[in-house]
Amino acid sequence: MSGAPLLDVRGLVKRFGTTEVLRGIDLSVRAQELVFVIGPSGSGKSTLLRCCNRLEEPSDGRVVVAGTDITDPRVDINAMRRRIGMVFQSFNLYPHMTARGNVMLALRKVTRLSRAEARERAEAALERVGLADKAASYPAALSGGQQQRVAIARALALEPELMLFDEPTSALDPELVGSVLAVMRELQESGMTMLVVSHEMRFAEEAADRVVFMDAGLIVEEGPPSAIFRSPSHERTRAFLGRVLA
């Protein structure tokens, strides 16, 4: 994991009116690294993710993905978003389309693949997340965990270099969380670069290469999971973990 970072965020500021939600974030993620962002609600975690593919426009600072400054007004942001997969808390599947159809739609609209090519790639993506047998099922016939895995397949089918996960398990019943985390684990093992906002602390401790703790729009501390979870250096980190791990 040497060389230039795949994602490099420098001096990132985001304001909503007079409220400064991000107050100068510096963060880098190297290729094949799994970085978890944790922190209390309202700390700016999801806003940080959304700025990393310009779903939110940064107020100041730079976001560089694979050597391209995506905050440059001349950049083709739609082309860059094909290289940045994003999985949301809500699944955002079209209810009138099958699992296969939901994945194919992104391929057909974004990459202009033929129907046959899109179908082949969609089915491969569904197989990767363990849903080959559900390709013809509609979202209403799928569990929440299965719907989220379809959403992951939809992002993976575009063959991104970077995956952003914004609370991917928070809308799931506890017994369904494991299936989504298993897919994320497989992605890590296959070398996918991931930036994850999540409250799944045990998974973060087991799987992350690095954990970043945010509070009040700032990165308070970051380090390997063993350091953050067992011997955090900052009082705010200790207080947060004391509440969520109690």
Q: 174-192, pLDDT tens digit by residue? A: 888 999 999 999 999 999 9
CA angle 200, 66, 203 (to 5 degrees): 10
Distance CA 109, CA 130 (A): 24
What pLDDT shows up at residue 1?
A: 46
Does the pLDDT value for residue 214 go beyond 70?
Answer: yes
What pLDDT shows up at residue 19?
A: 95
Tell me, yes or no, if the pTM score tops 0.85: yes
- Side by side, which strands form the sheet with 68-69? 19-29, 7-16, 60-65, 68-69
Given the DSSP bridges, would you call strands 34-38 and 193-197 parallel, antiparallel or unpaired?
A: parallel
Helical (H) or strand (E) element with 195: strand 193-197
Average pLDDT, integer, range 94-106: 95
Residue 21 carries which side chain, given as an amino acid letter?
V
What pLDDT shows up at residue 4?
A: 83
Residue 160 carries which side chain, given as an amino acid letter?
P
- Report pLDDT digits (tens) over 108-141: 888 888 999 999 999 999 999 999 999 999 999 9
Q: What are phi and psi of 166, to 5 degrees?
A: -110, 95
What pLDDT shows up at residue 2?
A: 53
- Report pLDDT digits (tens) over 146-178: 999 999 999 999 999 999 999 999 889 888 899
DSSP 129-185: TT-GGGTT--GGGS-HHHHHHHHHHHHHTT--SEEEEESTTTTS-HHHHHHHHHHHH
Does the pLDDT value for residue 3 go beyond 80?
Answer: no
- Report pLDDT digits (tens) over 37-96: 999 999 999 999 999 999 999 999 999 999 999 999 999 998 898 899 999 999 999 999
Whether 89 contacts 172, CB under 8 Å: no
What pLDDT shows up at residue 106?
A: 84
Q: Which of 162, 112, 102, 111 shows the shortest CA–CA distance to 134?
A: 102
